[in-house]
Amino acid sequence: MNENEANKSDELIKIKIAHLIKFAQNFQGIEVHVLISGKFVKMNYGSEQFVDILKKLQEKKLEEVYINQVDCKRIMAEIQQIVSSKTSTDQIKMQSSENSIEILKAFITQMGITKEAIDLLNSINKNSLGILQQSPNLMEWIKRFKTSCSEEFLKSILTSYLACRIIDQFPWGSQPIKEKTCLASMLCDINLSKDDFAALNDYEENGTPLSDKIKQHSAEIIKLLSIRKDIVSSETLVIIEQHHERPDGSGFPFGIQGPRFNQLSSIFIVSQQFIHHLVRCNFDYQQRRAILERVYEVYRGKNFDKAMGALVSVVNK
Ligand SMILES: [Fe+2]
């Protein structure tokens, strides 16, 4: 290993070794640094294989390494090609998309939002929805990817899909509005870990109290995105801000009440809630009526009633 003299913390992105290994083909040969006693040390591969070195680090209980920002951008461009390529199989597109979300999480939370990151998120959403729309039905798509993709990833795509179908029920619905809503679905939990998702599920199911970090995650994302209003729309920001709020004021982070929810946020929230319950009952679509009732118990009021009415129409079609 060669020690770096300069402190490179401004140019380096912390990334989980597991994610580098998943994308070993793309990451092959890039500069990898480890943090030892507060100093970044560049790995020297010598004659060893990239993946073998990373696995050795994992054996030493190291979970994260650092890569150059410029390499991360290059990888994002490569992933963009994979998910948009006509020659990639659906499985490869979906798995690459899911893995790349993890890389995007690291990039966005450490470097802030960029046009490239937004473009990649839009591509991932568009291509995943494209695969879903070409499937004979929703359940077939779920069956195909249930075991190969994470629950969180499937939930974000399914929420986009359902929200778009609900938006189509409204006269003001348009493609740009749907795209802004889908982007909210891709970004709203970008700063959460697997453990955070488990805690959120426990909160939704059993009312288990949440940590301050989770309670503030939507406010933190807004802070991160608001400085780039040129690339993230106000509609997307409002949805993200309100996605864990409840009309009775018991939600978080602000505890806002009924009249403050706009129509688009209400649509997004009931979509997300419907998908949450559908996942919890192991995608048993036969339970859709019980799920609708459960969602309606909490999400009522002017704009929520309209969103629920449209959701019922979509689900019963
Ligand atoms: Fe969230």
Say what percent of the chain tops pLDDT 90: 65
Distance from the alpha carbon of residue 241 to the mean position of ligand 1, in angstroms: 9
In the predicted model, is pLDDT for residue 46 greater than 70? Answer: no
Cβ atoms of residues 4 and 39 within 8 Å: yes
Tell me the whole-structure pTM to 2 decimals.
Answer: 0.90
> Domains (ranges, CATH) in the chain?
150-316 (1.10.3210.10)
Confidence of residue 3 (pLDDT cuts 50, 70, 90): very low
Predicted local distance difference test score (pLDDT) of residue 1: 46
Does the pLDDT of residue 276 top 60, yes or no? Answer: yes
Give the pLDDT of residue 58. 92
Using the mean position of ligand 1's atoms as its centre, give its distance from the Cα of residue 298 in Å.
17
Neighbours of ion ligand 1 (CB under 5 A): 189
Task: Pick the range with the lowest mean pLDDT from 20-24, 68-72, 245-249.
Answer: 20-24
Compute, in angstroms, the gap from residue 244 CA to the centroid of ligand 1: 6
Confidence check: pLDDT of 233 > 80:
yes
Q: What is the mean pLDDT of residues 44-65?
A: 84
Distance of CA 141 to the CA centre of its chain: 18
- Residue 258 pLDDT class (50, 70, 90 cuts): confident
CA distance 101 to 96: 9
Measure 69 CA to ligand 1 centroid, in angstroms: 26
From ligand 1's centre to the CA of 292, what distance in Å?
Answer: 20
The more confident residue out of 239 and 260 is 239
7 Cα: distance to centroid of ligand 1 (angstroms): 34
Check whether 75 has a pLDDT greater than 90: no
Distance between Cα 1 and ligand 1 center (Å): 40
* Ligand 1: centre distance to CA 15 (Å): 22
Write down the mean pLDDT value for the chain.
90
Is the pLDDT at 7 greater than 60? The verdict is no
Cα(181) to centroid(ligand 1), Å = 14
Nearest to 35 by CA among 69, 12, 55: 12
Residue type, 134: Q
Ligand 1 centroid to Cα of residue 55, in Å, is: 32
Asked if pLDDT for residue 5 goes beyond 50, the answer is: no
* 81 Cα: distance to centroid of ligand 1 (angstroms): 28
Give the confidence band of 8 by pLDDT, cuts at 50, 70, 90.
low
* Greater pLDDT, 241 or 82: 241
Structure tokens at 249: 């004021």
Q: Distance, CA 314 to ligand 1 centroid (Å)? A: 24
Using 50, 70 and 90 to split pLDDT, how confident is the model at 9? low
Query: What is the DSSP annotation of the chain?
Result: -EE-SS--TTTEEEEEHHHHHHTHHHHTT--EEEEETTEEEE---TTS-HHHHHHHHHHTT--EEEEEHHHHHHHHHHHHHHHH-SSS-HHHHHHHHHHHHHHHHHHHHHH---HHHHHHHHHHHHHHHHHHHHSSSHHHHHHHHTTTS-HHHHHHHHHHHHHHHHHTTSTT--HHHHHHHHHHHHHTTTT--HHHHHHHHHHHHH-PPPPHHHHTHHHHHHHHHHTTTTTS-HHHHHHHHHTT--TBS-SSSS--BGGG--HHHHHHHHHHHHHHHHHHTTT-GGGHHHHHHHHHHH--SHHHHHHHHHHHHHHH-
